[in-house]
């Protein structure tokens, strides 16, 4: 059974836990990114009803605790990865506030237009952007069975296996996690089509 990450513990608890792994400058940068993301996402909720910020914290936790990522720009991009896609925030605002590299990473993982083209383009993304995407999707699928729509559970499982699992190739921690997840959720492939 793959590890489950839990953003419901909140930023103060995660921050305290990360203090031994991340330096004070990185923690301060994450404080700023999380405050910005929380303000921009506001009262948004996940499909099962959880506050949206929990998803952002889970993606961050995957990178810090799971993968061992320490790069501040990659970590801030994980926190900000949906701010352009799901709020009125622009990539230029992200660039002005958090710098060009964070904006580039957020840009790579922002869906604009055709979903299939977006997923295909990810194959050419830089490693840091792929890490953010893999952490994002991991948060989305780790509790896939709680999604309120069975048809969505099945289609999202199939999409993840077809387009996201291959992106984990060559990234051992993600390969292992997604392999275990796929085996545990294989029955979803038999779900509604």
Contacts 24+ apart (CB under 8 A), 86-93: 86/41, 86/44, 86/52, 87/40, 87/41, 87/42, 87/44, 88/40, 89/40
Catalytic-residue membership of 86: yes
Closest CA to 126 of 64, 57, 73: 73
CB-facing half-sphere around the CA of 122: CA atoms within 13 A: 27
Which of 31, 32, 39, 85 is catalytic? The answer is 85
Active-site choice (50, 65, 71, 86): 86
Q: What is the DSSP string of 70-119?
A: --HHHHHHHHHTTHHHHSS--HHHHHHHH-HHHHHHHHHT---S-HHHHH
Q: Is 85 a catalytic residue?
A: yes
Length of the chain: 193
Measure the CA–CA gap between 65 and 85, rounded to whole angstroms: 26
Which amino acids are annotated catalytic? 85-86
């Amino acid at each position: 059974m793959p590890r489950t990450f839990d953003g419901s513990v909140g930023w103060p608890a995660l921050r305290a836990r990360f203090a031994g792994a991340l330096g004070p400058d990185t923690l301060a940068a994450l404080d700023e990114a999380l405050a910005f993301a929380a303000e921009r996402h506001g009262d948004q909720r996940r499909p099962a009803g959880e506050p949206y910020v929990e998803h952002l914290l889970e993606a961050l936790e995957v990178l810090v605790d799971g993968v061992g990522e320490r790069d501040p720009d990659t970590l801030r991009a994980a926190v900000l990865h949906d701010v352009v896609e799901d709020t009125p925030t622009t990539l230029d605002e992200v660039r002005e506030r958090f710098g060009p590299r964070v904006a580039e990473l957020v840009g790579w993982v922002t869906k604009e237009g055709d979903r299939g083209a977006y997923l295909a383009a990810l194959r050419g993304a830089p490693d840091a952007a792929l890490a953010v995407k893999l952490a994002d999707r991991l948060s989305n699928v780790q509790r896939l069975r709680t999604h309120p729509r069975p048809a969505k559970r099945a289609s999202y499982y199939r999409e993840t296996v077809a387009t996201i699992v291959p992106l984990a190739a060559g990234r051992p921690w993600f390969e292992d996690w997604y392999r275990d997840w796929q085996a545990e959720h294989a029955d979803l492939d038999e779900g509604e089509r």
